Structure 1
Amino acid sequence: MNAIEFVVFPGAVNRETRMRLLEEIERCDCPHFLLLFRDNRLQFRALYAFYPDTEEVFKIYGNGPKQIVDNMIDNYYKYNSGGKKFTQIHTKHLTVTIDAFTIHNGLWLGKKTRLPDKKGLPLVI
């Protein structure tokens, strides 16, 4: 909650988004929550519920995959409440000490749309 308030969505400008996210946390009975960041610049993308006993990660709010498995995760982050910042942790598995993560860049690519064939189009000069 402190990470969301002081780092992810600080200030009056982000109040509405911050309140919506905190409401989602209050509604869920999950024992642990994780934040998904876009990349190492730590831009928020989604909130996930993490169930340590089954090691399942499900999206609650935001943009990202509906479910996360270990091999999708690129980097792990821990929130430092004293320094009010996220620091990268070098590990290979999710634990309750992890507060945020990023996924591999290739997982962000959406469906490619096919452009029309240009062979039959007249050349305009």
Structure 2
Amino acid sequence: MVRDYDEAIRFYVEGLGFTLVEDLPQGDKRWVVVSPGEGTSLLLAQADTGQQQARVGDQTGGRVGFFLNTDDFDRDHARMVEYGVHFRETPRDEVYGRVAVFEDLYGNRWDLLQPARA
């Protein structure tokens, strides 16, 4: 869930490098879909009730709930930092790959992850 369609589109497209797949009017709402590629999509739904608005930025209870895989960690990390994406830690190498936790514009936690090569 997002607070505002346009600010969320800007963040995901300009900040994270996603593609805007659809932005269609749907009554008083919009059908907004963004994609990092490879068949994965994310529906951006504007919160409209008090309960929904209270959950924006805390949709996973403070845990990492989303993973953004990359084939070039350093390139994407640098682009995101330049855009102003907030990383909660410095990049680290784990057995499963190179990773760093970042927050989206509302505070939801994501992993930027370049999986280890087999």
Larger % of strand: which?
2
| TM value normalised by structure 1 | 0.28
| Highest RCO, 1 vs 2 (Cα 8 Å, sep ≥ 6) | 2
| TM value normalised by structure 2 | 0.29
